[in-house]
Amino acid sequence: MDGFITILCALIGSGAATALVTGIVGKRTERRRTETGESQGMRWLLQDRLEQQALKYLRRGAITYEELRNWNRGHHIYHDLLGGNGDLNGLKEELTRLFYDTKEGKP
């Protein structure tokens, strides 16, 4: 009889543990879906903003140190923290070259 009670307790305990783990994993998965959607939206907005700024500086033919520093900060957030795909890396190189070609960024 003691063996039966032990097995019964083990089955009940493992069932409760499984339900607990499944609940936790389910909540985490749901939260990740929400964060992923938010991250994708933020990444898209930031990419668009950085592209618009870069085009403005390239049309102007100059970029100041502060503008380049702020743009690079945004690029770091886009690329490294939000997982951007590298679409803006070419613009980053052009802006850096523009900075050095315009006497330390002074138009």
> Measured on CA atoms in the order 91, 69, 85, 42, is the torsion positive or negative?
negative
Distance CA 15, CA 26 (A): 16
Domain residue ranges in the chain: 2-101
Per-residue pLDDT at 13: 64
pLDDT at residue 105 tops 50: no
With pLDDT > 70 as the criterion, what percentage of the chain qualifies? 63
Residue ranges of E strands in 14-67: none
Per-residue pLDDT at 73: 97
- Per residue in 9-33, pLDDT tens? 565 666 665 665 566 666 655 555 5
Distance CA 3, CA 12 (A): 14
- Containing 101, the helix (H) or strand (E) segment is helix 89-101
Task: Give me 65's structure tokens.
Answer: 């140190």
pLDDT at residue 88 tops 70: yes
Contact 63, 95 (CB under 8 A): yes
Tokens 């390239």 locate to 58
The whole-model pTM stands at: 0.63
- Per residue in 67-87, pLDDT tens? 999 999 999 999 999 988 888
Distance CA 94, CA 83 (A): 21
Per-residue pLDDT at 101: 79
